[in-house]
């Protein structure tokens, strides 16, 4: 769980924080993923004019594994644009998800990203944010937690890294191809009492003050009012919805990228 000490950021005048997740670059079919990558690069170019900080909140890649001397093939345009943004002074925080849990030192050293492996507290222009992917918030999903624990296990990572990259990455992409996303199964809002992120946030607020919980994972663009002060934002995904969030120091807004313009995403299941 997140450290109790927040990372403090003060937004400059006219600058914003951007939040996005679940781009699933490399998702089968690959031609559509390549098209989506080009669209995302265009979006990154649009936001560079007023972005001070960018949060990439997990499952940015549908499968990612780094060897010490080998990084996954592909994503050249996307990674190049991130490096360009980082070199220009935009602060980029990358949170690992369940599909890209094996991010190690390539992205920090080569691109200049700050990588987080768990939720983190931020204080941005006076507001407190709890930010992460949001996949580990259900404490009773023991099967998933066991699987995620295997993915994080250093010894099992060592064994996997002994496989030849061609074979290992083929295994990973085959697993990805047959995931529920690849089968086209859409997400649906389960109701307040069954949405683990909402239940987690409400329990967390019993002992902590948070203005915005910002998660991904569920693939549901969501702006949910928890109480008079706190909101939960789920960032949706970039397979169908192309949704993201912005914060300008005063307003937190869920938006949709469409035809090179930003459209306010107004669906609010908390009202």
Tens-digit pLDDT profile for residues 244-263? 999 999 999 999 998 766 77
* Separation of alpha carbons 55 and 53, rounded Å: 7
Radius of gyration of the chain (CA): 18
Q: Tens digit of pLDDT for each residue in 57-90?
A: 999 998 887 877 777 778 999 999 999 999 999 9
Q: Tens digit of pLDDT for each residue in 9-51?
A: 999 999 999 999 999 998 877 888 899 999 999 999 999 999 9
Closest of 115, 111, 132 to residue 204, by C-alpha: 132
Task: Give the Å distances, CA to CA, from 122 to 12, 140, 166, 209.
Answer: 16, 27, 39, 12
Better pLDDT: 67 or 184: 67
Lookup result for tokens 């265009």: 42
Provide the percentage of residues in the chain whose pLDDT is more than 90. Answer: 56
End-to-end Cα, the chain, rounded Å: 29
Classify each residue of 103-116 as buried b or exposed e, where b means 16 or more C-beta atoms within 10 Å of its C-beta: bbebbeeebbbebb
Identify whether 106 is preceded by a cis peptide bond (ω within 30 of 0).
no
Residue 87: predicted pLDDT: 97
What six digits make up the tokens of 183? 């089968």
What confidence category does residue 270 fall into, taking pLDDT thresholds of 50, 70 and 90? very low
Element (H, E) at 238: none
Domain architecture of the chain: domains with CATH: 11-264 (3.60.21.10)
Question: What average pLDDT does range 200-208 have in this prediction?
Answer: 94
Better pLDDT: 142 or 194: 194
* Separation of alpha carbons 87 and 138, rounded Å: 37
């Amino acid at each position: 769980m997140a450290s109790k000490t927040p990372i403090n950021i003060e937004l400059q005048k006219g600058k914003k924080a951007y939040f996005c997740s679940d781009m699933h670059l490399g998702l089968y079919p690959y031609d559509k993923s390549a098209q989506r990558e080009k669209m995302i690069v265009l979006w990154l170019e649009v936001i560079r004019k007023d972005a001070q900080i960018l949060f990439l909140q997990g499952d940015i890649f549908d499968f990612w594994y780094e060897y010490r001397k080998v990084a996954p093939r592909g994503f050249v345009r996307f990674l190049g644009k991130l490096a360009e943004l980082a070199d220009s002074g935009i602060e980029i925080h990358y949170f690992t998800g369940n599909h890209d849990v094996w991010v190690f030192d390539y992205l920090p050293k080569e691109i200049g990203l700050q990588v987080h492996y768990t939720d983190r507290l931020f204080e941005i222009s006076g507001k407190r944010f709890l930010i992460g992917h949001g996949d580990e918030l259900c404490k009773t999903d023991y099967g998933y937690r066991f699987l995620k624990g295997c993915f994080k296990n250093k010894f099992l990572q060592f064994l996997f890294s002994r496989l030849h990259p061609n074979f290992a990455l083929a295994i990973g992409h085959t697993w990805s191809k047959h995931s529920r996303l690849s089968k086209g199964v859409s997400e649906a809002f389960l109701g307040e009492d069954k949405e683990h992120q909402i239940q987690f946030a409400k329990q967390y607020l019993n002992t902590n003050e948070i203005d915005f919980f910002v998660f991904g994972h569920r693939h549901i663009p969501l702006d949910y009012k928890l109480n008079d002060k706190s909101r939960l934002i789920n960032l949706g995904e970039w397979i169908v919805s192309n949704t993201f969030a912005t914060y300008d120091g005063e307003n937190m807004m869920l938006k949709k990228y469409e035809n090179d313009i930003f459209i306010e995403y107004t669906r609010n299941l908390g009202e």
